[in-house]
Copies of this chain bind each other. A is one copy, B any other.
Amino acid sequence: MAVAAEIEPERSNSQTVRAQLAVRDLVLTGALKAGEHVSELSLVGRVGVSRTPVRAALHRLAEEGLLEPRAAGGFTVKAFSDRDVLDSIEIRGVLEGLAARLAAERGVSLTAIAPLRRCLAELDEVVRQTGRSVEIFSDYVALNARFHAVLVGLADSRPLERQIERAVNLPFASPSAFVMVQSTMPEARTILTIAQDHHRCVLDAIEQREGARAESLMREHSRLASRNLALALRNQETLDLVPGAALIRSSSIA
């Protein structure tokens, strides 16, 4: 089918996963507008699999929070207010803060923290660089994602990992969601420097078993994202750099 060819032919192992990725992309790119009802049959044509995996994918995306189940059955694309986004970021901050505190309180061996130290050093290099801004930032995004993931692992708590994974699944709530927005701003380098100092201090706090400090640092760290969100909402064009921006219906279209 012609339309199906639009979607990458990625022959992933599972049809369900393929459908999930395809539909998620449709939602995040705005091909399916917020509030719109998304029917199973229409997707069957678009992603080229039968109803069963499409159905499973829709349920999973509803669990992720991108779709909203209707009482009558079926799903609609969820719309997020700016406060919803803000709250999602705060939730992530609180949970990551808990992870940092647990790591600190329970103690982490030096060998366990070593990978994170290495990650920190790599981030240092990226921040120190003075090249093409966009490239620096995309390097930063990748390393930053790794840093956060490994940090959460230090808490060594499966329940917490699960909960954080869910919080981060909302694309605009991920630790790196708003980093690219900074790349368009004059004080870009400043913010990176501050964020990286957060990283460093959190590691120090964990090493010295300062739980409260580690926790509040991670919270404040997440608020960098909140601040970037506020900036992005002012100049609408930079908002396109944020994944899933199509879902954010700005309440202030004055």
Residues of chain A touching chain B, judged by Cβ–Cβ distance below 8 Å, are 56, 59-60, 63, 65, 83-84, 87-88, 90-91, 94-95, 97-98, 102, 157-160, 162-163, 166-167, 170
Contacts and interface: CB of A to CB of B under 8 A. Distances in A.
B59 A160 contact: no
A162 B159 CA distance: 16
9 contacts: A63-B63, A65-B159, A65-B162, A87-B157, A90-B98, A91-B95, A91-B98, A94-B98, A166-B166
A157 B83 contact: yes
Nearest to A84: B159
Which of A59, A84, A90, A163 has its CB near the most chain B CB atoms (within 10 A)? A163
How many copies, total?
2
Contact of A91 (B56, B87, B88, B160): B160
A157 B56 CA distance: 27
A16 B223 CA distance: 41
B59 A157 contact: no
A148 B84 CA distance: 21
A163 B91 contact: yes
Given A94-B94, A94-B98, A87 B160 contact: yes
Which of A83, A90, A91 has its CB near the most chain B CB atoms (within 10 A)? A91
5 nearest interchain CB pairs?
A87-B157, A88-B159, A87-B159, A94-B98, A63-B63
A222 to B, nearest CB: 12
Given A84-B159, A91-B160, 10 more contacts: A59-B60, A65-B162, A87-B102, A87-B157, A90-B98, A91-B95, A91-B98, A91-B159, A94-B97, A166-B166
A200 B87 CA distance: 26
A87 B84 CA distance: 26
A13 to B, nearest CB: 11
A63 B65 CA distance: 13
A60 B60 CA distance: 9
Contacts of A163: 91, 163, 166-167
